[in-house]
Amino acid sequence: MAEAEPVPEAALNATESNGTEALNATAKFVATPEGTALAYGSLVFMALLPIFFGALRSVTCSKSKNSADAPETITSRDAARFPIIASCTLFGLYLFFKVFSQEYINLLLSVYFFVLGVLALSHTMSPAVSRIFPVSFPNKQYQLLFTQGSGESKEEIVNYEFDTKNLVCLLISSVVGVWYLLKKHWIANNVFGLAFALNGVELLHLNNVSTGCILLGGLFVYDVFWVFGTNVMVTVAKSFEAPIKLVFPQDLLEKGLEASNFAMLGLGDIVIPGIFIALLLRFDVSLKKNSRTYFYSSFLAYIFGLGLTIFVMHTFKHAQPALLYLVPACVGFPVVVALLKGELTEMFRYEESSEEAEPNEESSESEKKKDQ
């Protein structure tokens, strides 16, 4: 799964906004202080939603018996390779936009992200929709099963269980998808973007804190290089028409929902710190102290880092690599808290995979005893 993520991460890991030049408009536009404040504040608020709720959902998703809801674990090897893969993907997209027609590339990407967006939004809204339906609702169970081979050598490729409520969610999500596909409206873009971000935080699990530090450290260098060292990141960000960024118009107060001068925040700047914050929440849960110290400290650190990014960006009127500010904040704050509480060693020794394996080993041993 770690290798499948670089497209959104590579395409938009820079946070951009303009004071005097519109990002998606042909004419120059000077944003009012009110419009700028509204755009920045909305982006921060939208960024916090998938991190907070995705982290909460990540605590329980590993217990799901449905293979489609099982988290993907990022190992230290995956984390070390991720910036290299992301760089290759980013530069490849840059070359594609230089060589081929931007219109046809974005058409293919629109269809691709339409399918992904519908599935992501359906998964996101499924728990909420399930609570709305009455108990008397005829909820039938279905199973999509693909296998390879036969007899004892039969191997499961896909085993997805769903019900009627999931189909209703899929239908609602498809309506949003068609709206996005036909109109490319910024609200539809944000709906899909929030769904992608929440699913990423929920389903991508770092196996330990050290892996998180490797991932964030590598992408820290990646982000700084591609934003400050070249024009590749900004060029791809402006050319890439897909819901892998959150946008909010700075001219909303003047033009309403038809506004076109956008401030934007890449999903990579939400998901990458978000999966680290979610890991710290699961570490809080493992301590069994009925407190969420590390989660709240890292969550506040993210707010501080993103606020600092916006301040520098607004001051210098230049695209900023958000991870330049987010990584030191999200890693530094929890480490300082762990030092003060004397739990630094315990935090870095926390290993999700080993803890998840223990119950399975105990259950298998008990089954053997019963058989004997």
Those residues whose C-beta lies under 8 Å from the C-beta of residue 346, and which sit 6 or more positions away, are 287, 338
**Phi-psi category of 280—alpha, beta or left, where left has phi over 0 and alpha has psi -120 to 50?**
alpha
Burial class (CB in 10 A: 0-12, 13-18, 19+), 347: buried
**Phi-psi category of 288—alpha, beta or left, where left has phi over 0 and alpha has psi -120 to 50?**
left
Contact at 8 Å (CB) between 148 and 155? yes
- The amino acid occupying position 126 is S
SS (H, E, C) 67-104: HHHCCEEECHHHHHHHHHHHHHHHHHHHHHHHHCCHHH
166-177: buried (b, 16+ CB within 10 Å) or exposed (e) per residue? bebbbeebeebb
Strands 320-321 and 245-249: unpaired
Catalytic residue set: 223, 269
β-partners of residue 222 are: none
CA angle 137, 195, 182 (to 5 degrees): 95
